[in-house]
Amino acid sequence: MSMYVILEVNEVKFALTCDLVGEVFRLEPVTAIPSDVKYIAGVLQRREQVLTVIDLHRRLGLGRFAPTKDSRLVEAHVDGIPLGLQVDRVLAVDVLGRQMQEEGAGDLVDSPFIKEMAQWNGGLVFVLTPQSIINKSIMMQDPEWQAAQAEYGS
């Protein structure tokens, strides 16, 4: 069975497969970069690599990130890009119950971000489609993002 990191964004539970997650850590200062991509909060250098920090609230259409003592950054690698996902809380690393992909769950919520729904801890959790979190082609064309990668990259 696959393991997932269960996280919370604006009181909505999401899951991300552990295969993509490097680590979970407390918030650290982020270097803002000017960008037309509004869900990019900035960059963060951590352990000799640059993480592009994503405001998952904005990306998923759930408001803006407001840090609390429970907030975390989830390091994830999507399409070769190291990301730091800003989340309200990380709830667990766990297996999921019955997944409802075959029932067209992604169509029910009509979101490119949702791969499927699953049962977890007596409720529902949305399994994220990792490639939808970023738009790699837009990021690669953004000169500010490229400059930050060149300046802070290894």
Could you state, in order of their start, the residue ranges of all structural domains in the chain?
Answer: 4-152
Phi, psi values for residue 75, rounded to 5°: -80, 125
As a whole number, mean pLDDT of residues 43-53 equals 89
Using CA atoms, how far apart are residues 26 and 14, in angstroms rounded to an integer? 19
Mean local confidence (pLDDT), 121-136: 85
The two three-digit tokens of residue 81, written as one number? 């890009």
Question: pTM of the full predicted structure?
Answer: 0.82
Confidence of residue 114 (pLDDT cuts 50, 70, 90): confident
Residue type, 140: M
Q: For residue 5, what pLDDT is reported?
A: 96
What CATH number does the domain located at 4-152 have?
2.40.50.180
Q: What mean pLDDT do residues 116-127 have?
A: 91
Q: Is the pLDDT of residue 8 over 90?
A: yes
Contacts for 46-49: CB closer than 8 Å, 24+ residues apart:
46/75, 46/84, 48/154, 49/82, 49/153, 49/154
